[in-house]
């Protein structure tokens, strides 16, 4: 079927000719059952029936989705719909939130991350996280990147550590800008550079997955574009999950998109398809700006 072709800020947002209008059987209007394909071949993460409660509040409900290797999954939806909550499940950051209770199956590379034998520090090295506001340690640029490899014993000597720091900064696209000032504080860098430093710090411990919680929302458009370019490079080596409030950003950086609404995962699928041909009415309302 032909996709609609109206461009708005780089995304096709035409609210007509959607699949759901022509295939109502495929388009349940009720929430509670995710529309689209939650599975991918050979996933790095397989999440099923994930519920999160904050005390009495049921923040996410029976969420099931796979996260593919070497691709970016964007999570979009109105504020408060549970995107960050779900992201924080993936490296057990909700363990640190008082009152939070996570139920369900979250399997990383064949093993449930809630297994008693799972070391949470190791998990967070495998599944690194980049936050909304760049948060370098109050240490030098070098030490920000060297810290993780040192505590995880990844370098045998100083030469190896120097190499890890160099490679990580290089891969984060920051080396040329900082190679002559490695001893200066990480906080002396610009916001965009600090965010790339945080990415270098994350990749220094050889993660498999990088979680990003609105990583560009504190950055200007040029710094944002650099991070987005970097994501395209990084996905060659890692799986990336990004929470973004920007649909344009989701459309630019991701291969798959997941739309959340009031704690339900409403729809998931290939990004191009979600933005040109959403199957669920709630997804369509959101991406056409009727809700949000």
> Taking CB under 6 A as the rule, does residue 57 contact ligand ADP?
yes
> Taking CB under 6 A as the rule, does residue 79 contact ligand ADP?
yes
- Alpha helix (H) residue ranges in 183-270: 191-203, 221-234, 247-253
**Quick one: 16 or 79, whose CB is closer to ligand ADP?**
79
The residues, any chain, with a CB within 8 Å of residue 138's CB and separated by 6 or more, are 185, 186, 187
Which one, of 60, 127, 94, 91, lies nearest residue 261 by Cα? 60
Give dist(CA 239, CA 248) in Å, integer. Answer: 20
Region of 3-11, 34-42, 51-59, 265-273 interacting with ligand ADP (CB under 6 A)? 51-59
Q: Which of 19, 27, 47, 59 forms a contact with ligand ADP (CB under 6 A)?
A: 59
Give dist(CA 133, CA 82) in Å, integer. Answer: 19
Residues 85-114 that bind ligand ADP (CB under 6 A): 85, 97, 99
Residue 103's alpha-carbon distances to 61, 100, 115, 259, 285, in angstroms, are 10, 10, 12, 21, 30
Residues 213-252 that bind ligand ADP (CB under 6 A): 243
**Quick one: 141 or 212, whose CB is closer to ligand ADP?**
212
> Taking CB under 6 A as the rule, does residue 54 contact ligand ADP?
yes
Q: Which of 18, 83, 252, 280 forms a contact with ligand ADP (CB under 6 A)?
A: 83
- Please state the closest distance from residue 225 (CB atom) to ligand ADP, in A: 23
Which residues are registered as beta bridge partners of 185? 140
Which one, of 118, 209, 121, 226, lies nearest residue 173 by Cα? 226
- Please state the closest distance from residue 131 (CB atom) to ligand ADP, in A: 12
Give dist(CA 18, CA 22) in Å, integer. Answer: 7
> Taking CB under 6 A as the rule, does residue 82 contact ligand ADP?
yes
The residues, any chain, with a CB within 8 Å of residue 12's CB and separated by 6 or more, are 3, 4, 5, 6, 275, 276
**Quick one: 60 or 189, whose CB is closer to ligand ADP?**
60
**Quick one: 93 or 164, whose CB is closer to ligand ADP?**
93
- Per CB under 6 A, residues contacting ligand ADP are 54, 57, 59, 77, 79-85, 97, 99, 243
């Amino acid at each position: 079927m032909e996709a609609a072709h109206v461009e708005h800020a780089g995304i096709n947002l035409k609210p007509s000719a959607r699949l759901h209008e022509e295939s109502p059987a495929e388009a349940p209007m009720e929430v509670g059952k995710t529309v689209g394909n939650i599975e991918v071949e050979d996933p790095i993460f397989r999440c099923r029936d994930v519920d999160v409660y904050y005390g009495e509040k049921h923040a996410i409900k029976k969420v099931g989705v796979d996260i593919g290797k070497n691709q970016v999954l964007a999570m979009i939806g109105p504020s408060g719909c549970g995107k960050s909550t779900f992201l924080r499940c993936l490296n057990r950051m909700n363990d640190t939130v008082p009152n939070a209770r996570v139920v369900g199956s979250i399997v990383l590379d064949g093993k449930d991350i809630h297994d008693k034998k799972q070391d949470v520090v190791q998990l967070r090295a495998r599944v690194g996280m980049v936050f909304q506001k760049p948060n370098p340690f109050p240490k030098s640029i070098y030490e920000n990147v060297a810290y993780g490899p040192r505590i995880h014993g990844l370098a045998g000597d100083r030469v190896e550590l120097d190499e890890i720091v160099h490679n990580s900064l290089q891969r984060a696209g920051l080396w040329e800008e900082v190679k002559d000032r490695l001893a200066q504080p990480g906080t002396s860098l610009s916001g965009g550079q600090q965010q790339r430093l945080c990415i270098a710090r994350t990749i220094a411990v050889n993660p498999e997955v990088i979680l990003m919680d609105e990583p560009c929302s504190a950055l200007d458009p040029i710094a944002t574009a650099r991070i987005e370019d970097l994501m395209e490079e990084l996905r060659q080596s890692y799986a990336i999950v990004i929470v973004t409030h920007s649909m344009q950003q989701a459309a630019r950086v991701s291969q798959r998109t997941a739309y959340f609404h009031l704690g339900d995962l409403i729809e998931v699928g290939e990004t191009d398809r979600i933005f040109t041909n959403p199957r669920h009415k709630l997804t369509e309302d959101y991406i056409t700006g009727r809700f949000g």
